Amino acid sequence: MANASALTFQELLFNLQTFWAARGCVLQQPYDVEVGAGTMSPETFLRVLGPRPFYVAYAQPSRRPADGRYGENPNRLYKHTQFQVILKPPPERVQELYLESLAAMGIDLREHDLKFEEDNWEWPAGGAWGVGWQVMLDGLEITQFTYFQQCGGQELDPICAELTYGLERIAAFLQDVDSIYDIVWARDPVTQRAITYGEVRLEEEVQFSTYNFEHADVAKLWEHFRLYEQECQALLALVREDEATRKERERVPVLAAYDLCLKCSHLFNLLDARGAVSVTERVGIIGRIRNLTVGVARAYAATLATQTAGQAA
């Protein structure tokens, strides 16, 4: 009993964007480097550092190679879409604001059961954690709501609120379809013909599952990992050399270093999907990625401090 009057997948995205733009968020585009979650986009990971207030919202395709199921599982995807909102610092009535966003998606809370259940978030490789809730609607987790406390090993002040909506899950719920692939992505404005999620994305799921699980060349992945790691470290070394000449620091390309770090993270996920990372190695690799993310966050925070000092002078 699919609900034909529910928002299409793209309308859901439009409405969330419109809603949050009207509440002061900068609308960003998805970051164009592979990430496992919206949190890893520099729009979150780096922007939450330092004192400057910032509201941003964006959709982020999030790739998790090990979650791919060749398009055969109705609930699991290699690449799903997170809608990410960062509110730094969080407004006083941030929970109520969030509940209004549900209304913008066509959810009338008087007809549903809503609970905020404790769920603390942690990204060890990013030196990041926060406390918060999974927001449950009729037993379905529709949003992860987190008060960031630390990021890249840096204590945050002010802290920020992060809202992460799982768009496929919410769309399937609203449209009342049992498979993600049956979600109506768009409707032809003239004929009203439904274009489904499956038509748009199924082939991509199949192909990438095949690549991730069967063809990704393990030796080359390790080599890529090593090369990206080296280059990232080389950039971070510039920051350290720079300690003596503080004024030059602004020119260190910290953002590029972060991209290299994201590459390493994605390669690790690919290696993991290939079953190439033993549990012993896992801890070590996560530690290596953490060194990069923490190094980038430290360098970025230092850059901000220099800029602030420059503006003051």
Partner 1 sequence: MAEFLFEIGLEEIPARMIAGAEQELAARLKSMLVAENLLTGEVDLRRYATPRRLAVTISGVLEQQQDVTEQLTGPAWKVAFKDGQPTAAAAAFAKKAGLAVEALVKHTTPKGEYVSATVTKAGRTAAEILIEKLPAELGKIYWAKNMYWRPGKPERFVRPVRWMVALLDSAVVPVEFGGKIAGNATYGHRVLHGDAPVTITSPVDYVAKLEAAYVVADVSVRRERIRKALDRVTRTVEGARWREDAPLVETVTQLTEWPSVVLGTFEGEYLELPDEVLVTVMRDHQKYFAVNDAGGKLAPHFLAVLNTQVDAAGEAVIRHGNERVLRARFNDARFFWTFDQKTPLAERVELLRAVTFQKDLGSYFTKTETNIRLASALATTLAARGIAVDEPALLTATRLAKADLTAELVKEFTELQGVIGGLYARAEGLGERVAQAIYWQYRPAAADDAIPPSVEGQLLGLADRMATIVDMFALGLEPTGSKDPFALRRAANGVIRILAASGLPLKLSELEWMATSPEQDALAETSTSAVAAFFRERLDFYLREVMEFSYDVAKAVLAAGGDDVADAIARAQALTEVRASDAEGHLAAISGAFKRIQNILRQAREKGEPYDTAAVANVLVEPEERALHEQFNVVAPEVETLRASHRYAEAFGRIATLRPTVDSFFDKVMVMAPDAVLRRNRLSLIAEVAGRFSSIADFSEIVSG
Residues that bind partner 1 (CB under 8 A): 73-76, 89-90, 95-96, 99, 109-118, 120, 130-131, 133, 137-140, 147, 149, 157-159, 173, 176, 178, 278-280
Provide the minimum distance between the beta carbon of 158 and partner 1 in the complex, in angstroms, as a whole number.
Answer: 4
Q: Please, which residues bridge with residue 166 across strands?
A: 82
Provide the minimum distance between the beta carbon of 248 and partner 1 in the complex, in angstroms, as a whole number.
Answer: 31
Residue found by looking up tokens 């520099």 in the block: 42
Closer to partner 1 by Cβ: residue 105 or 232: 105
Provide the minimum distance between the beta carbon of 109 and partner 1 in the complex, in angstroms, as a whole number.
Answer: 5
Closer to partner 1 by Cβ: residue 71 or 90: 90
Provide the minimum distance between the beta carbon of 215 and partner 1 in the complex, in angstroms, as a whole number.
Answer: 21
The answer to whether the CB of 208 falls within 8 A of the CB of 33 is no
- Cβ within 8 Å of residue 41, ≥6 positions away: 28, 30, 31, 35, 58, 60, 84
Closer to partner 1 by Cβ: residue 129 or 231: 129
Three state DSSP letters for 259-302: HHHHHHHHHHHHHHHCCCCCHHHHHHHHHHHHHHHHHHHHHHHH
Closer to partner 1 by Cβ: residue 133 or 300: 133
The answer to whether the CB of 53 falls within 8 A of the CB of 86 is no
Provide the minimum distance between the beta carbon of 281 and partner 1 in the complex, in angstroms, as a whole number.
Answer: 9
Provide the minimum distance between the beta carbon of 32 and partner 1 in the complex, in angstroms, as a whole number.
Answer: 31
The three-point CA angle 49-55-58 to 5° equals: 100
What's the one-letter identity of residue 263?
K
Closer to partner 1 by Cβ: residue 117 or 199: 117
Q: Of 138, 50, 39, which Cα lies nearest the Cα of 85? A: 39
Rounded CA-CA distance 35/57 in Å is: 16
Rounded CA-CA distance 307/302 in Å is: 9
Beta strands 54-63 and 26-27 are parallel
Closer to partner 1 by Cβ: residue 102 or 257: 102
Closer to partner 1 by Cβ: residue 74 or 198: 74
Residue found by looking up tokens 């002061």 in the block: 24
Provide the minimum distance between the beta carbon of 71 and partner 1 in the complex, in angstroms, as a whole number.
Answer: 14
Q: Which two tokens stand for residue 90?
A: 């969080």
Provide the minimum distance between the beta carbon of 115 and partner 1 in the complex, in angstroms, as a whole number.
Answer: 5
With both helix axes pointing from N to C terminus, report the angle between 9-22 and 94-104 in degrees, rounded to the nearest 10: 140
Rounded CA-CA distance 186/232 in Å is: 41
Closer to partner 1 by Cβ: residue 58 or 121: 121
How many Cβ atoms from other residues are within 10 Å of residue 184's Cβ?
22
